[in-house]
Structure 1
């Protein structure tokens, strides 16, 4: 179309779209259109020209090539959610507040904070996500990386299908083994060999992980077949996958890796070997460590005497000892710590007079070496997941904060607690809270099993009640209160009802603190009841259940 008429046979002048836009932005008073037909005002002429240009642009478009129709979404064989649970999921996904952070939070539950535990419970039941909820679920997981594992497990195979269609959800492909690529059956020897030889790194890493999870020996043999030709960064990542299914059968391969030309690969191989108490490396480290630590009986009472290494020789470096210490650390103490943490903990009772771990950590250590020695034993206990040594280094929960047998930090105590059984772990933290209160307990609470065991739940509630009676604001305990909302057993709601009333405030209390505490406890009670309701909604309405069986807690 080259010409158009407006108001009779008057021609509307042509002009590029960019010229018309520029004239409109500047205004016709400052820049008149190039051609104004008689009888037309400049603004009207500009609009006529824009209309003609718009029709011309649309008429001149060439139809695009039809895109290939997407493949059908894969089926999800899992059972559907019960209707009440599906409605609950919609409500949780619609909440985007994420809580108010610090300060006053009101009495309404933070629904988005209940989504992780709801997903965990739904996955435990083996339900499939409702198709209509997948976009909102992927949007939520996009914004919160902590949600992704549970959200993607719940979303199932359709999450990857959607992620290939929407760039905003590509994180789902990155999180999937092999970037979402289909892996051959581990029994398909030819398919496994071809993918290992020709696949991308992510696909090969996923394949190796799948093999280590099912048949560790096959995974190790596959890695050994191409070890000499792999890049250093790939060797490091592949070697780390051997943590899955690690056993004494991996020792010969790991011993070979100790001679790798990459320092990071050598360090990883040494770390894996030190986790095998029966390995030759562990025995070598035990010989070196016991040469540095001995029992001194010459004084009035037995004591541990330490003589740190004088040098870091080539054999020590080959076994993973890092020669250069970090800034601010002495060389000899740095080397000593690495030797002790890599030695099997069973070495020390034999070396130190047949004493138990509790008796060993109670011995005095001469010349100020206690902190370094105990810290190394803590790292060894965590690495070897030794409950007896963890228990000894933790000491009594009622001991002074810095005066336990191991004299370890709260971060180290949290790691040591992970080696204990859940019941013992909860009892220790409950004892710690009863003695020290809540201000230092946040890290310790984070490693306790959910829902909290009754003694731990009671200890937390009692400590919160003590803080309330002290007249301070509840905002200093908002982190612990948030944990309590997610981790307390919902059965505690009835016991908490006595704390909902506004208490009489002492004279030295912060103004209005009692009302704020009542509001905080109201939110806690409401959240616990909501969690109990969520749990009930996830139970199949007509599913067979054994008499007396209880569904898993939604906070689990």
Structure 2
């Protein structure tokens, strides 16, 4: 095979295409390119020889490329290193996460996977840095479990974000980090803040606004006001949500402007924020509307309700949605929105200076009690009013379906969240003592961890009663899982007595004794493991 020394030789890709064409059409109809043939030689043999050579080149030959620039070094992490025992424990927790599940019954061994969130929270509380060698496993764990991400990313720090840039499977970390993983400027550096606000990506701008809001609420409001008119509707909604931090009367003028926004979601969020400012003009307008609908009744100790007859333009401007969901009456829907947005302080003035507890106990005419109480519950949650929450929760001993404010356990859990932690735990402890654990799962979930002593004792007592009664044990598995994560580790010694199999009565569920024994063994083992983890992380 000869190479022509004159003219322009075809490149590899062009030559290959010409050889393929000759092979398809035949060398008689389409001779191979002259560059691969010799005078008087066999065209077919020359074509095959050239194809063989070019195939080897295509498969094995790579053109040299410019080497990529080295990445910037990972940022320094000046937080203290983990103690050795805690370092080893983290490796065990992350390795257990990747272990295959055996399925079926859990047995008596602790579930290490469920302890990882608590371990991360404690480590972050002490301000430790993540070991560099465990960062990949930590990011893998956070990728698999969204609930781990806030704590895992805080623990991983800047080095974790630096590493996440090199693996597409970890891109969630960049989305979840402030500024999409990009360092934000110092919030006191006005030119840098202004430049990023004007030129940054959406995620960077949201993170920037949130950071500035935490340091300088007025400065954040000024940033947002300057570009509000040019922002997209979905962006305005996200930006508006940052005003929840440091919300104050200084935000009222801006939020009033947002009530006229062309996006319904923006209007609704602005109305919600304004309703949390009880002295705002918006709150007063809603109070007047709600008070016109809810008045003292004709008989003593009653409340009369007359819902709005229409949803006028002014109501709609203030965020009242005119069209009700399927199955709701229009007037009931409008009434609920007005009462929910009205400051709770209006009701003692309207209803003869009564306290919230006295108001909730009043009889409501014409079957409006459920609608009115539900709206008061939403208002108490939104305004985080502890006095109204107590009144609407009532006495823990009341049956769940006979609560003064609501029979919904989900709404009761939200009301409990407005109470101080200690009071919340006592209320739930009394509820468990009175009604057992069947209806307590959602209520237990809002109590601070570890559970206060009265609550822990109430839960253990209720579990012991269920065990001794031979109750169907698998219905308590959810509460058992909560107890493993939330009971004070100091309860382990007390629970040792319950690890043996109970005497099974004729009415006991088959296999209940073995299950209860395994469950209490696992609970005790988990509590002791949590105590060890806590000690290992102690500075």
My pick for the range that moved more, 450-459 or 61-70, is 61-70
* Matched residue SS, 1:156: helix
Which consecutive segments of 4 or more residues in structure 1 shift more than 4 A?
51-59, 97-103
Asked if residue 406 in structure 1 is aligned to residue 379 in structure 2, the reply is no
Partner of 1:489: 488
Q: 1:147 to 1:54 in 2, by over 3 A?
A: farther
* Matched residue SS, 2:295: strand
Partner of 1:154: 155
State whether residues 258 and 318 of structure 1, in contact with CA within 8 Å, keep that contact through their aligned partners in structure 2.
yes
Partner of 2:360: 361
Q: What is the CA-CA distance between 1:60 and the residue it aligns to?
A: 2.4
Partner of 1:185: 186
My pick for the range that moved more, 144-153 or 175-184, is 175-184
* Matched residue SS, 2:400: coil
The 1-side partners of 2:439 and 2:532 are apart by 32
Structure with larger RCO (C-alpha < 8 A, sep 6+):
1
**Deviation string for 1:468-512 (max 9, x for gaps)?**
112134221111100000000000000001101111100111222
Q: What is the CA-CA distance between 1:54 and the residue it aligns to?
A: 9.5
* Matched residue SS, 1:170: helix
State whether residues 103 and 475 of structure 1, in contact with CA within 8 Å, keep that contact through their aligned partners in structure 2.
no
Q: 1:199 to 1:56 in 2, by over 3 A?
A: closer
Higher helix share: 2
Partner of 1:26: none
Structure 2 gaps, min length 5: 3-15, 21-51
Q: What is the CA-CA distance between 1:100 and the residue it aligns to?
A: 6.3
The 2-side partners of 1:401 and 1:262 are apart by 40
State whether residues 406 and 412 of structure 2, in contact with CA within 8 Å, keep that contact through their aligned partners in structure 1.
no
The 2-side partners of 1:388 and 1:99 are apart by 49
Q: How does 1:267-416 map to 2 (within 5 A)?
A: 267-296=268-297, 298-299=298-299, 301-416=300-415
The 1-side partners of 2:263 and 2:279 are apart by 25
Q: How does 1:476-515 map to 2 (within 5 A)?
A: 476-515=475-514
TM-score normalised by the chain length of structure 2? 0.88
Q: What is the CA-CA distance between 1:97 and the residue it aligns to?
A: 6.5
Q: 1:314 to 1:494 in 2, by over 3 A?
A: same
Q: What is the CA-CA distance between 1:177 and the residue it aligns to?
A: 1.4
Partner of 1:163: 164
The 1-side partners of 2:60 and 2:258 are apart by 68
The 1-side partners of 2:415 and 2:151 are apart by 26
**Deviation string for 1:415-453 (max 9, x for gaps)?**
000000011101111111112211111111110000000
The 2-side partners of 1:97 and 1:374 are apart by 48
Q: What is the CA-CA distance between 1:410 and the residue it aligns to?
A: 0.3
The 2-side partners of 1:352 and 1:95 are apart by 59
Structure 1 gaps, min length 5: 3-14, 20-50, 541-556
Q: 1:373 to 1:67 in 2, by over 3 A?
A: same
The 2-side partners of 1:56 and 1:97 are apart by 43
Asked if residue 62 in structure 1 is aligned to residue 81 in structure 2, the reply is no
State whether residues 389 and 419 of structure 2, in contact with CA within 8 Å, keep that contact through their aligned partners in structure 1.
yes
The 2-side partners of 1:302 and 1:288 are apart by 22
The 1-side partners of 2:169 and 2:98 are apart by 21
Q: 1:193 to 1:513 in 2, by over 3 A?
A: same
Q: 1:338 to 1:230 in 2, by over 3 A?
A: same
Partner of 2:258: 257
State whether residues 451 and 487 of structure 2, in contact with CA within 8 Å, keep that contact through their aligned partners in structure 1.
yes
State whether residues 175 and 181 of structure 2, in contact with CA within 8 Å, keep that contact through their aligned partners in structure 1.
yes
* Matched residue SS, 2:286: helix
State whether residues 153 and 160 of structure 2, in contact with CA within 8 Å, keep that contact through their aligned partners in structure 1.
yes
**Deviation string for 1:195-227 (max 9, x for gaps)?**
111111111111111111110000001111111
State whether residues 493 and 525 of structure 1, in contact with CA within 8 Å, keep that contact through their aligned partners in structure 2.
yes
Partner of 2:91: 90
Q: 1:98 to 1:264 in 2, by over 3 A?
A: farther
* Matched residue SS, 2:97: coil
The 1-side partners of 2:175 and 2:144 are apart by 15
* Matched residue SS, 1:128: coil
The 1-side partners of 2:254 and 2:504 are apart by 68
* RMSD after superposition: 2.1
State whether residues 293 and 307 of structure 1, in contact with CA within 8 Å, keep that contact through their aligned partners in structure 2.
yes
The 1-side partners of 2:524 and 2:274 are apart by 49
Q: What is the CA-CA distance between 1:64 and the residue it aligns to?
A: 3.5
State whether residues 81 and 131 of structure 2, in contact with CA within 8 Å, keep that contact through their aligned partners in structure 1.
yes
State whether residues 423 and 453 of structure 1, in contact with CA within 8 Å, keep that contact through their aligned partners in structure 2.
yes
Q: What is the CA-CA distance between 1:182 and the residue it aligns to?
A: 2.1
The 1-side partners of 2:472 and 2:64 are apart by 66
Q: 1:475 to 1:416 in 2, by over 3 A?
A: same
State whether residues 295 and 351 of structure 2, in contact with CA within 8 Å, keep that contact through their aligned partners in structure 1.
yes
Q: 1:74 to 1:294 in 2, by over 3 A?
A: same
* Matched residue SS, 1:294: strand
Q: 1:103 to 1:368 in 2, by over 3 A?
A: farther
TM-score normalised by the chain length of structure 1? 0.86
State whether residues 375 and 408 of structure 1, in contact with CA within 8 Å, keep that contact through their aligned partners in structure 2.
no
Q: How does 1:79-228 map to 2 (within 5 A)?
A: 79-96=80-97, 104-228=105-229
